[in-house]
Structure 1
């Protein structure tokens, strides 16, 4: 979802198709067409010999919710030399910092994998009022398997707020235009617009991972 498009509330999820046409799948990825080479490298935080791949997303974004199952399947097939991270962006909606802290609190608790789909479902399918600090904390109180007291402590912590600020900076470094989007090795940026659709965006990401391994 583009920054400028959120006010439209994405009544249609068809703005960024998930499945690529067969002819597009055969075309080799090209800089400036299928992906963007950053003029200034973005910082990476990953061990030597690893390729950092980051997904920029927002819990408020319906495209991110629709993309999540496909992304999860792709993540499971990533080779061991890829270090995958999620970055919640500071746009899409009016409670962006709260949603960023929601993600980083779950990360600190080791609960992202379990609750990532549940949050998307709560917001986009069940239409629950998971908005702002009050809405998030009220939702957490009702979740089995989630320690609400610990969550509240971490949610308000300096470390979680610091991670949200760093996420905002990395979003700027990659010049993220909309979500979902993917950054590779601090050098390349791809999304559904550059690649043509989100299915091909993952194919382009696979290609860029290979390019990063070359040096």
Structure 2
């Protein structure tokens, strides 16, 4: 009968644990869990990990992904720069893009973006025209006239139009879509699940940082 020393038993136990962890860690495959864009887009700032979520207020998948994405954003270090870009796949969705930038201009985006999505997905509010949007905004305690002045402003309308052009440049064909460093693209539908897409984002973040933020 062969007897093992305590040191050998400990070593074998560690090997077994490493094997279990490796088996549990999901494998990330570029081309499947994430895609490399054929034409990378320039990043806005240097020495940072740029993360863009292309979303639409009316998208049920965006609403479903929001808790996981918000939790991910909150735990990121200072070198990660996150921003949202609204996508209008049809012209009649443009009011939602204007709403997003109007709230941003008024400093109300962080407080109301999730409430907008809740109103649309849980309270069946479409918010597809100026009156519906203004009525809902007023119900949130924001001055209607001040909001409408911002919503109709040249700056907000220009940003909404620019967002559509940005989405076209990135060739976004679905929402939510995450683009990292203007180059890597992933989403819950691409990765397979919300949890896997978050894992892919962590993987890409580490890769970008190891590459010294180069594209």
TM-score of the pair, normalised by structure 2: 0.82
- The answer to whether 1:169 aligns with 2:168 is no
Pair 1:139–1:29, CA change in 2 (3 A): same
Post-superposition CA distance 1:72-97 (Å, at most 9, x none): 11111111101100011012x66311
Q: Is the 8 A contact 1:101 1:164 kept in 2?
A: yes
Aligned equivalent of 1:106, options 103, 106, 124: 103
Q: Is 2:148 the partner of 1:149?
A: no
Whether 1:74 aligns to 2:72 is yes
- Tell me which residue corresponds to 2:116: 119
Q: What CA distance in whole angstroms lies between the structure 2 residues aligned with 1:193 and 1:108? A: 31
Query: For residues 1-215 of structure 1, what are the structure 2 equivalents within 5 Å?
Result: 26-45=25-44, 47-91=45-89, 95-144=92-141, 146-213=142-209, 214=211, 215=214
List structure 1 runs of 4+ shifted beyond 3 angstroms: 22-25
Compute the displacement of 1:24 (Å).
9.7
Counterparts in 2 of 1:23 and 1:190: CA distance versus 1, 3 Å: farther
How far residue 177 of structure 1 moved from its aligned partner, in angstroms, is 2.2
SS in structure 2 at match of 1:95: helix
Distance 1:164 1:101 in 2: 5
CA distance in 1, matches of 2:115, 2:98: 16
Q: CA deviation at 1:108?
A: 0.9
Point out where structure 1 has 5 or more consecutive residues left out of the alignment.
1-21
Length-normalised TM-score, structure 1: 0.82
Bigger CA radius of gyration: 2
Contact 2:93–2:128 (Cα < 8 Å) also in 1: no
Structure 1 residues 40 and 137 mapped into 2: Cα distance closer, same or farther (>3 Å)?
same
Instruction: Measure, in 2, the Cα distance between the counterparts of 1:25 and 1:34.
Output: 16
Unaligned runs of 5+ in 2: 1-20
Aligned residues between the structures? 191
Equivalents in 2 of 1:100, 1:193: separation in Å? Answer: 23
Equivalence for 1:11: none
2-structure distance, mates of 1:25, 1:174: 33
| CA 166–129 in structure 1, closer or farther in 2 if over 3 Å, else same | closer
Computed over aligned residues only, the root mean square deviation of the Cα atoms, in angstroms, reads 2.0
Q: Residues 25, 105 of structure 1: CA spacing in aligned structure 2 closer, same or farther, 3 A cutoff?
A: farther
